[in-house]
Amino acid sequence: MIRRFLLPLAGLVAAAPALAADIPYRQAPPLVEAPIVPLFTWTGLYLGGQIGYGWGTDTLNVYPLGFGTNFTPNGVVGGGHAGFNYQINQFVAGIEGDVEGTGISRSYSPGGAVYNTKIPVQGSIRGRLGVAFDRVLLYATGGGEFAGFDTNYSGLGSFSHTQAGWTVGGGIEYAITGNWSVRAEYRYTDFGHFTDFTPIAFGLGSSVTHHETENAVRAGFSYKFDPFGVRY
């Protein structure tokens, strides 16, 4: 009886390798890893341009005529900027410089005398501190500002000055891509005081002292170079 069960079982064991060879083999598909997309960062060197509008106050005092007044030079501003940002978590710190040509100018005519103030060029070197919300950056900025001033008095006396002062403001910047961003910014600038000695215009010993301040709004764009070889 036992042999009757063992003989068929032995036949099945002997045939098992052949049966296994006939079963179709399906290999699991290879794992495909998704490409790693680098997280956006504001870190990097950038270059860009900007255009805007500036308006200010020229407060002047004339000696020895003994009067003071102010008027409001204004005009278009525009130029280029360059800077570097470094991001740690949400916080962004950087430095930026810009140079602009301007159409800021104004003439004032008290009592027949014509005073004219013009700012043909200006620029700044500033720090930037901001908070990033992914591709949106809110920032404050401040530092030193310089400008060239041309002043004229009834065609009788013309002067040129390079004046240094301070500037402070803030803005918002949005990264359209990993490299391109757009911005809007406001800044207030105080160029301090300077004096023109004007004996030709008003007589020996006379002078005009100016105090120049400026408000400006700007829109701009920047191209950020990829940091450490990262490409978006």
Residue 36 confidence (pLDDT) above 60: no
Residue 31 lies inside a defined structural domain of this protein = no
Residue 28 lies inside a defined structural domain of this protein = no
Which CATH number fits the domain that encloses residue 56? 2.40.160
Distance CA 133, CA 131 (A): 7
Secondary structure of 147-185 as H, E, C letters = EEEEEEECCCEEEEEEEEEEEEEEEEEEECCCCEEEEEE
Residue 4 lies inside a defined structural domain of this protein = no
Q: List pLDDT tens digits, range 57-86.
A: 999 888 887 778 888 999 999 999 999 999
Please give the C-alpha separations between residue 98 and each of 49, 79, 161, 192, 203, in angstroms, as whole numbers: 9, 7, 19, 20, 40
Distance CA 169, CA 171 (A): 7
Which contiguous run of DSSP H or E holds residue 6? helix 2-22
Q: List pLDDT tens digits, range 152-183.
A: 888 678 899 999 999 999 999 999 999 999 99
- pLDDT band of residue 50 (cuts 50, 70, 90) is very high
Residue 54 lies inside a defined structural domain of this protein = yes
pLDDT at 7: 46
Residue 149 lies inside a defined structural domain of this protein = yes
Residue 133 confidence (pLDDT) above 70: yes
- pTM score, two decimals? 0.79
Residue 10 lies inside a defined structural domain of this protein = no
State the total domains in the chain.
1
Distance CA 197, CA 195 (A): 6
Q: Which domain holds residue 140?
A: 48-229
What is the DSSP secondary-structure string of 35-80? PPPPPP---EEEEEEEEEEEEEEEEEEEETTTEEEEE--EEEEEEE
**Around Cβ 168, how many Cβ atoms within 10 Å?**
15
Longest dimension (CA), the chain: 143
Residue 29 lies inside a defined structural domain of this protein = no
167 CB-near residues (< 8 Å, 6+ apart): 124, 126, 141, 142, 143, 144, 145, 187, 188, 189, 190
Rounded to an integer, the average pLDDT of 17-31 is 55
* CA-closest candidate to residue 185, choices 133, 101, 118, 124: 124
Residue 6 lies inside a defined structural domain of this protein = no
**Around Cβ 158, how many Cβ atoms within 10 Å?**
13
What is the signed CA dihedral for 23, 28, 29, 31, rounded to 10 degrees? -170
